[in-house]
Amino acid sequence: MSTVSSRVTVTLQPNSSLIYSGEKITVRCEIQGGGDTLWTYEWRTPSSNNPPSHSEYTISKAALSHSGDYSCRGSRDYYLTEWSRVMRLTVSCKNSDTNLYDFYLIFINVVCILYCVFLLTVSSRVTVTLQPNWSVIYSGEKITVRCEIQGGGDTEWTYEWSTPSSNNPPSHSEYTISKAALSHSGDYSCRGRRDYYLTEWSRVMRLTVSYVRPSASLTVSPDRVQHFTSDSVSLSCEGNSTEWRVMRFAKGYYRSCSAWGRMTGSTCDIDSNWPSNAVYWCESGSGEFSNTVNITLQNYYGIILLSPVRPVTEGESVTLGCKLRTERNISSVFFYQNDKLIQNDSRVELNISAVSQSDEGFYKCQSSGKVSAQSWMSVKGEYD
């Protein structure tokens, strides 16, 4: 299926930034330059109801549950447009205490009773995170999308998700996809509800699922995810190319090795004074991209976890360690998986003799009163 360059937009009628509950609205998908050909439309909406496959999406009586992000795209024959930009809809109430009430109609013995429910919007910050935290996920991989409410306390929340998939996501904080597919690509956002409290929608987290695995690869020497800022590290590209560049994404900017390291052939050397935590990858002269690597930095007086960069194959053995920059020998190391203590004896290494899928997760270590950052260890199948 070919992707066409027709511009797709989502419009709202009436064209108002604020819609009140009970009002009738129409969300329309417009394909500019699409000609008169009959298109089939696909929608992403915050509602759990499946929207229609045509260009107009009508809501006869708007409610708070309709608030959220709307986007669309079109398909016909062998052509497929890009997804439109997100149109954010906010539904409020007609009461003077806007944003605090939602009105419902209840019919009892053909008598319409109007009543309201107090819904207080709380200021807790809501974020969507992806595990593993990679910029590109490949089809077949297992991923977990998590909704985190900061400052929400220990109270149990019910979670509402806006996802690109037509399947209804769960009402709890974690949304696990056992085998990623191209249809999972798109925007993910969430919010929480408990009692009479409702959070704002989180910012959108965009997930990209790729069908083709990279023919290029990036290796890190020393082979670990965490490093000290004073370490000398080499990032090497491997694949069928004679021209390479190593790229870095940090603090919202893309930079090649020439701006922050020393590129020789297919290897980028970083001597010291790393700028920040960043994501690294290789690009070949023919346009191939490697896997991405998240590298976490620690200052001179900190502690780091020694964990492998690449995914570990099921059945293989793996050893995790802990390192203090200021001490040659280390003792009494605690190891954690997903914030749960899993080893606290006299051993200074965590040895897993035969890795399984249950060993996948975030790891960190603790020693001498210091705790490392956590890093994700990925596990892949034997025949992946």
Classify domain 214-300 at the CATH topology level.
Immunoglobulin-like (2.60.40)
Span 2-92 CATH architecture? Sandwich (2.60)
73-87: average pLDDT: 83
Domains 214-300 and 301-384 belong to one CATH topology: yes
pTM: 0.48
pLDDT-above-90 percentage for the chain: 21
Q: Is 120-210 a CATH 2.30.42.10 domain?
A: no
Residue extents of the structural domains in the chain:
2-92, 120-210, 214-300, 301-384
Return the pLDDT at 97. Answer: 39
C-alpha closest to that of 161 among 176, 171, 149, 151 = 171
301-384 in CATH: which number?
2.60.40.10
Task: State the pLDDT at residue 364.
Answer: 95
18-68 tens-digit pLDDT: 687 788 898 999 888 766 567 888 888 887 566 777 888 888 888 888 888
Confidence class for position 213, pLDDT limits 50, 70, 90: low
- In this predicted structure, the answer to whether residue 104 has a pLDDT above a threshold of 60 is no
